[in-house]
Structure 1
Amino acid sequence: MVANVRPLSALFIDCDSYFASVEQHLDPALRGKAVGVAPVMAETSCCIAASYEAKRFGVKTGTRISDARILCPGIAIVEAKPPEYVRYHNRIVEAVEDCIHVEEVLSIDEMWAWLPLNLREPATIRRIAERIKAKVSESVSPAITVSIGVAPNRYLAKIASKMRKPDGLFLIEESELPEALYPLELRDLTGIARSMESRLHAAGIHSVAALCRVEKAVLRGVWGGVLGERLWHLLRGDVIPDLVSSRKSIGHSHVLPPDSRAPGLAWPVLCKLLHKACERLRAHGMLAASLTVKIAFFRGVSWSPKIRFQETDSTRVLMKLLDQLWRDRPDPKAPILQVGVVLARLVESGNFTPDLFANHVADLMSLQDDKQKRLDAALDRLRVRYGRDVVYYGSVQDSRDKAPMRISFTHIPDLGIESDRRS
């Protein structure tokens, strides 16, 4: 048999409605029922996940809780439990590792494996995939299922994993390309969102079939650069290196429940978000040189001031800067719907040159001495070992039950740094 020019080399694992599935595992009474997961228990909040039973009624990520109740009468709304999602994520990774080496964890619910040369026959791959499914069911929970896609490259394997959900398995061989992709909509392809879909339509491309037929130069023109050429190659099964990216910012935000929207109650939550960002900054060995505060007022007005300063990872310094920005906010008595902080202009702590002329916050930078650094390090170690509540700055005293851990699509919190563990 002649080997494929582009053999099956990537196996992609995607957990099905992951947050909702974990909730159904934790509470067996929810299994088989419509479930929506909310960041906070407020009708004005939105679903960050929905079970497949809820999705059948049109509930999806981003659906407002009040709308979800209308779309799906009887839906169970549960408050998110990020520490549990991280714990079960780790168990799923361990289960997959028992079957095949995980090349990379891509998000809280996605990972992929490189298929060795001796494990690329379709029958062998199917056995591996079924073993992964069985291992997750046995070692983690039968309520948590995974869909698996296999293709000549990771991009196509990810798409394949979504084509037979839930609990699916789909292989796309080179001989089936590009026709296997034709049933998809343009926005089913990773990298094509609403704005890019509009640009493709403007170029006369209205289907995946049309997308696959155009010349490379056309896609380069639509994307305005090499990303279009990159997609052209990926759709044909070519294996090309990942784009190199660097961490550009660290941030946290939180939608405030109705009982925490007064400015005096929002301030401790904002402080807690900055403290969490500072811990992550130090954990990554980075320094920040800018701080942005994001405040959305209840009546729809937003305010996002930014301040720049000499590179630092000091919680104390950054808290002083946060206080300066907070005091300058418009309409100090207005209720606040959402708060957030972003640390940016990041550099590695061991690879930067201090600005000798940055004197506009020199008085604050004087706080950044060796004693302060040792204090931050000691606090970080204590909180990792004994949990967040063992020690904290007084500014977060009134936020201890607010702003719990959140999980983004690409950042998986380290429970040692970010969870509220009990000692």
Structure 2
Amino acid sequence: MAVSKPLTALFIDCDSYFASVEQHLDPALRGRPVGVAPVMAESSCCIAASYEAKAFGVKTGTRISDARILCPGIAIVESKPAEYIRHHQRIVEAVEDCIHVEAVLSIDEMWAWLPLNLRDPATVELIGRRIKETVARDVSPVIKVSIGAAPNRYLAKIASKMRKPDGLFIIEQRDLPDVLHPLKLRDFTGIARSMETRLHAAGIHTVAELCAAPKSVLHGVWGGVMGDRLWHLLRGDEIPDLVSARKSIGHSHVLPPDSRHPDKAWPILCKLLHKACERLRAHGLLTGGLTMQLAFYRGVSWAAEARTDETDSTLVLMRMLDRLWRDRPEPRCQLLQVGVVLTRLCERSNHTPSLFQTVADTMAAMDAAKHQRLDATLDKLRARYGRSVVYFGSVQESRDEAPMRISFTHIPDLEVEQD
């Protein structure tokens, strides 16, 4: 007889988080359809939509002009990343008052490991309701959280989405796999459009067929152990997380209409690189590669990479960016989006300089030491007195552009990245 697997994971997911924070900040938006945009331009897209807007078909990625057609009267507001981070921190504190947060996974997701004495379903439900009450009391009654619990974190995340919004759902071992059958393949983390196509090619069209598929079939569909992992996760098994090192640090910005001329776009690109360099140093990393990404207004994208000896110097990387910028195609063409990515990362503490240095290498090392002292001084001044107290001249014209953004995998550190 199979051993019953206890509840071990509690997953907390904030509902329509950015839009909910906007409705909290402005009572006039409550009960109204709301779309959150990174910039106030009709060509931009929604990065979040309230449930009132979702009822009209507006969702993440919907073009602003299309959102107005789908939902007449929708309120479009410009995103406020600093507010989202502050409220995120308050939500984490509220959850911590109820149960220890094992890990924050994104700006609107976190999970808690259930101790051995807190795994009874009735106790887990009580914890979930207490979290909801604490968030409503200490953060805002407008910001709702959906909570799921299951024998592993993967299934707990799925459970948190099965009763949205403001849901609380528990998947017990005895419920598997039948409780999952009403879902769609795309409801599962790790199954996007291309993977769904591969599953269809393997004869798997429903969740019931996915759960019944042999491990060897899923191994073949995923082309490796990720298929094996999913097979175990669907059965409630606990699987250790895959450990991965940070591979890149990047920033991008969709340009508003008045900043699409190359002369206007260049200072914004410089600011993005400066922000990436500050993050690089804050993480104690060095980079050996810089990629510049451009999207032209006429629909063509272009990217180029330059490599260097490992560095964290803003001046060195700025010179590299300048060379890439000068070599771009169609230098007079307007731009729609600009971005920079630092790659080939390594930890400064683990970096070993070349053992065979020439005189030129020695001089370069002396310059690097000067750059390091300069960057450290600037970082300290900006952290203490604000980002506008001192900056490189290349960002003079873009200090108010490319404000701090939040991605799915990165929550900005306000002390490092606040504009």
Q: In which range does the TM-score fall when normalised by the shorter chain?
A: over 0.9
The aligned residue for residue 330 of structure 2 is 331
The aligned residue for residue 217 of structure 1 is 216
CA contact (8 A) 1:407 1:413 kept: yes
CA contact (8 A) 1:320 1:364 kept: no
The aligned residue for residue 379 of structure 2 is 380
Equivalents in 2 of 1:89, 1:202: separation in Å? 41
Out of 348-357 and 283-292, give the one that drifted further.
348-357
1:134 and 2:129 aligned: no
Equivalents in 1 of 2:296, 2:22: separation in Å? 32
Paired residue secondary structure (1:296): strand
Deviation (angstroms), 1:354: 2.8
Q: What amino acid maps onto 1:33 in structure 2?
A: R
Q: Any unmatched runs of 5+ in structure 1?
A: none
Out of 297-306 and 147-156, give the one that drifted further.
297-306
1:166 and 2:137 aligned: no
1:90 and 2:89 aligned: yes
Deviation (angstroms), 1:370: 2.2
CA contact (8 A) 1:288 1:344 kept: yes
The aligned residue for residue 59 of structure 1 is 58
CA contact (8 A) 2:313 2:368 kept: no
Deviation (angstroms), 1:369: 2.8
Paired residue secondary structure (2:237): coil
Paired residue secondary structure (1:342): strand
1:397 and 2:396 aligned: yes
Deviation (angstroms), 1:365: 4.5
The aligned residue for residue 418 of structure 1 is 417
Q: Deviations over 1:101-137 (max 9, x none)?
A: 0000000000000011111111111111111001001
Q: CA RMSD in A?
A: 1.7
Equivalents in 2 of 1:358, 1:47: separation in Å? 52
Identity between Structure 1 and Structure 2 (%): 74
1:306 and 2:305 aligned: yes
Deviation (angstroms), 1:263: 0.5
CA contact (8 A) 1:150 1:160 kept: yes
The aligned residue for residue 6 of structure 2 is 7
Question: Normalising by structure 2, what TM-score?
Answer: 0.97
CA contact (8 A) 1:317 1:367 kept: no
Deviation (angstroms), 1:366: 5.7
CA contact (8 A) 1:146 1:166 kept: yes
Paired residue secondary structure (1:276): helix
CA contact (8 A) 1:317 1:364 kept: no
Equivalents in 1 of 2:178, 2:53: separation in Å? 31
Deviation (angstroms), 1:382: 1.7
> Quick one: structure 1 residues 270 and 380, their matched pair in 2 at CA, closer, same or farther if it must change by over 3 Å?
same
Q: Deviations over 1:331-377 (max 9, x none)?
A: 11111110000000000001122346899x97995674322211111
> Quick one: structure 1 residues 106 and 402, their matched pair in 2 at CA, closer, same or farther if it must change by over 3 Å?
same
The aligned residue for residue 40 of structure 1 is 39
Q: How does 1:63-78 map to 2 (within 5 A)?
A: 63-78=62-77
Q: What amino acid maps onto 1:148 in structure 2?
A: I
Q: How does 1:121-200 map to 2 (within 5 A)?
A: 121-200=120-199
> Quick one: structure 1 residues 165 and 4, their matched pair in 2 at CA, closer, same or farther if it must change by over 3 Å?
farther
The aligned residue for residue 241 of structure 1 is 240
Deviation (angstroms), 1:91: 0.3
The aligned residue for residue 347 of structure 2 is 348
Paired residue secondary structure (1:305): strand
The aligned residue for residue 292 of structure 1 is 291
Equivalents in 2 of 1:260, 1:67: separation in Å? 23
Equivalents in 1 of 2:222, 2:238: separation in Å? 20
> Quick one: structure 1 residues 72 and 352, their matched pair in 2 at CA, closer, same or farther if it must change by over 3 Å?
same
Length, aligned pairs only: 418
Paired residue secondary structure (1:100): coil
Equivalents in 1 of 2:410, 2:37: separation in Å? 18
> Quick one: structure 1 residues 26 and 367, their matched pair in 2 at CA, closer, same or farther if it must change by over 3 Å?
farther
Deviation (angstroms), 1:385: 2.0
> Quick one: structure 1 residues 364 and 172, their matched pair in 2 at CA, closer, same or farther if it must change by over 3 Å?
farther
Paired residue secondary structure (1:350): helix
CA contact (8 A) 1:92 1:140 kept: yes
Q: What amino acid maps onto 2:171 in structure 1?
A: I
Paired residue secondary structure (2:132): helix
Deviation (angstroms), 1:329: 1.0
Paired residue secondary structure (2:350): coil
Q: Any unmatched runs of 5+ in structure 2?
A: none
Paired residue secondary structure (2:309): strand
Q: Deviations over 1:131-184 (max 9, x none)?
A: 100100110011101000000000000000000000000000000001000010
Q: What amino acid maps onto 1:137 in structure 2?
A: A
Equivalents in 1 of 2:378, 2:177: separation in Å? 55
Equivalents in 2 of 1:235, 1:229: separation in Å? 10
Paired residue secondary structure (2:349): coil
Equivalents in 1 of 2:17, 2:311: separation in Å? 37
Equivalents in 1 of 2:355, 2:44: separation in Å? 46
CA contact (8 A) 1:220 1:229 kept: yes
Equivalents in 2 of 1:54, 1:4: separation in Å? 45
Equivalents in 2 of 1:158, 1:60: separation in Å? 20
CA contact (8 A) 1:292 1:307 kept: yes
